[in-house]
Amino acid sequence: MGDVAKDLAAGTIGGAAQLICGHPFDTIKVKLQSQPVPLPGQLPKYSGAFDAVKQTIASEGPRGLYKGMGVPLATVAAFNAVLFTVRGQMETLVRSNPGAPLTVNQQFVCGAGAGVAVSILACPTELIKCRLQAQSALAGSETATVAVKYGGPMDVARHVLSEGGIRGLFKGLVPTMAREIPGNAIMFGVYEALKRKFAGGTDTSGLSRGSLIVAGGLAGASFWFIVYPTDVIKSVIQVDDYRNPKFSGSFDAFRKIQASEGFKGLYKGFGPAMARSIPANAACFLAYEMTRSALA
């Protein structure tokens, strides 16, 4: 089996593991990010992550934590296949000599290149996911003209296409790229650096599963720690109304969030995001490495 096919298979399995472990955390993150700013004298819909979990289960049942999972699950093969395959091909381009190990800096470059490619797939997928996840958080808000009207992923896609056309599916592409390019550069660079530290050199083939889990979990945490505000901006733009938008673009969203909520507004949902990133990425990298090794 060729390297591209191995990366396709391993990336698909790794992505599925990541999604199953991390989606409930992602749902709570999006709910916290997209809930409207309360009017003076009013309390926010969710007081925090645990309150969001409690209200979600009370109103929607445990399945509510997996709302919007259909679209990313259906596309996880393409998304992670592209991520790991493009990264693998980038390794071939930047490698100085055939078979030579890449430096950590070269791993950063490969991750950034993969981030460019996956942004195109991630934007429409996450737009549909976020609009499904945010429905209950936006319900009853004066600005939430799109709240509670979707029957499922295909229904979201139909509404988006009718209101915004094909371009509507790529609403939030700029902050998606601002998240994926530096985020993946950091994640893959940190992952490789940690593996080498644990292995005591450039040969990391003998690392234990425990070491891979730790390296993958910390690498995933580094992704979100650095680029989290761009994800908040992406989410509020993607759940914004097409016909009567609250935000004119990324910079306008940044300015309005800071004006209304301060710096902490750019970190809404940060706790669930970090809680998700460690187990989800640990599962993803472990599944990828094990599958890749089995196919060697």
pLDDT of 80-102, one tens digit each?
778 988 998 898 889 877 777 88
Could you identify the residue written with the tokens 């509510």? 64
d(CA 201, CA 197): 7
Q: Give residue 184's pLDDT.
A: 96
Q: What is the pLDDT of residues 166-214, one digit of tens each?
A: 999 999 999 999 999 999 999 999 999 999 999 998 889 899 999 999 9
Least confident span in 8-12, 121-125, 141-145, 173-177 = 141-145
Q: Tell me phi and psi for residue 97, to 5 degrees.
A: -135, 145
The answer on pLDDT for 260 being more than 50 is yes
d(CA 163, CA 150): 14
127 against 149, higher pLDDT:
127
> Exposed e or buried b for every residue in 183-196, given b needs 16+ CB within 10 A?
bbbbbbbbbbbbbb
DSSP element (H, E) containing 262? none
Q: Give residue 143's pLDDT.
A: 46
92: exposed, middle or buried (C-beta count within 10 Å: 0-12, 13-18, 19+)?
Answer: exposed
Q: Give residue 40's pLDDT.
A: 80
Name the residue among 271, 269, 258, 275 with its Cα closest to residue 34: 269
Q: Give residue 145's pLDDT.
A: 42
Could you identify the residue written with the tokens 């003998």? 206
The answer on pLDDT for 285 being more than 50 is yes
The answer on pLDDT for 49 being more than 50 is yes
Domains observed in the chain: 3-295 (1.50.40.10)
Q: Which two tokens stand for residue 150?
A: 């979707």
Q: Give residue 23's pLDDT.
A: 86
Q: Give residue 146's pLDDT.
A: 44
36 against 102, higher pLDDT:
102
Average pLDDT, the chain: 87
Q: Give residue 181's pLDDT.
A: 97
pLDDT band, residue 142 (cuts 50/70/90): very low
